[in-house]
Amino acid sequence: MKKMKKIFLSIALLTSAFFVNKVQATPIKLKAFMTFCGTIHTIEDTVSDKTMAAIFDYYEYMDCGD
Amino acid sequence: MSSKNLFIIVCCFAMHVSAQSEMDTTALRVSYVSKMRTMEDVKNLSNDEKVLDIGKHSSHFYSRWKEHNNAIMDSIFSRGGTYQDYRSELEKTGFPNSMTPFHVFKNYPKKGLLTYTDKVFQSFIYEEPMEMPDWKLSEGDTVVLGYHCKKAQTTFRGRTWNVWYTMDIPYSDGPWKLYGLPGLILHAADAKGDFIFDCIGIKQGNMGPIVLRKEKYVNCTPQEFEKIRRSSLENPDLYLKKIGFPSKGYDAKGRPIVYKPRIPCLLEYVLKNYKK
């Protein structure tokens, strides 16, 4: 299970997880991160590292609060 | 230098000295372990270590775990570190993530005012007039950390609290927004068993200033903050999207997360009729 999570995260990070916004036809680069309870979230690559830390805290609360 | 410029410099210096003289420093540090229910459907209470710093005319109640992790974050990012550096340091030397990272400043920024800050992705802040709970002193005594304690009870903003306080430490203060007894509150628990604060240590001495953390805050009212807390739990992804951070979540098996609406378990209820 852990291996699967790692593989998923690695794919998300290493392949830079491109997808095409159909409206603007502009590729959007994504960042991915994993909470301590194992959930994975993706967010646009334009966010700063400090914002990433805040988003990580937010989802730690939402996903791992129990 | 013109006399006008000299006057401005003198005024700035006077304001600086005045601001310094108003800054309070911690004379007594009280540590509590806290157990708090974060959401109504959550069985286990969330652990944390809270600190009550008491100064001459103000006090500050906060999460020690969050402060420690914030210090790591500040240190990493001030040196140009990345999010990965932060996570890696957090895993090595950080505390568990505090689920209750609020701050309560009593008599701050001035006497009679309470300043509250909390985080729901962004940092929120509000000020409100200090409201002393209406205490009923009860029969019974016990000993906490070697201090003789007396019992008291109050119903405050939707919750009934039972507390033990000691007159041996003559500070009329306590955890969270509780205060107003003739001594320091060493144990507090709400009648439903959702929140417990237990004193585990008391230290005397000069332990730094009582001051609000410098960061970007969103001003709100207590009512607005309760609405924000509730709406974020109804749909976490939608809440972030509204602020401009659309994200997608996957569970440990790689399946997209579908959040079910949840209800926060709150220390206080300030909204009378909550509507979405």
pLDDT digits (tens, 9 = 90+) for B102-131: 999 999 999 999 999 999 999 999 999 999
Domain ranges of chain B: 23-243
- Give CA angle at B107 (B104, B108), nearest 5°: 70
Taking chain B (276 residues) in runs of 10, the rounded mean pLDDT of each run is 48 40 87 96 94 97 96 94 92 92 97 97 97 96 97 97 97 98 98 98 94 95 96 92 90 88 94 68
Based on the structure, what is the number of domains in chain A? 1
| B97 to A61: CB separation less than 8 angstroms, yes or no | yes
Give B174-194 pLDDT, tens digit per residue.
999 999 999 999 999 999 999
| B249 to A63: CB separation less than 8 angstroms, yes or no | yes
pTM for the whole structure: 0.85
Which class is B23-243 in CATH? mainly beta
B92 lies within 8 A of chain A by CB: no
Task: Return the pLDDT at A19.
Answer: 44
Compute the distance between CA of residue B196 and CA of residue A23 in angstroms, rounded to an integer. 51
Q: For B112, phi and psi rounded to 5 degrees?
A: 90, -5
- Give the C-alpha distances (Å, rounded to integers) separating A43 from A1, B51, B190, B233, B245: 23, 34, 39, 19, 7
pLDDT band at A20 (very low <50, low <70, confident <90, very high): very low
Compute the distance between CA of residue A4 and CA of residue A20 in angstroms, rounded to an integer. 25
Domain that holds residue A6: 2-64
Interface predicted TM-score (ipTM): 0.78
Residues from chain A contacting residue B42 (CB–CB below 8 Å): 65-66
In angstroms, what separates the C-alpha of A7 from chain B's closest C-alpha?
10
Task: Return the pLDDT at B253.
Answer: 85
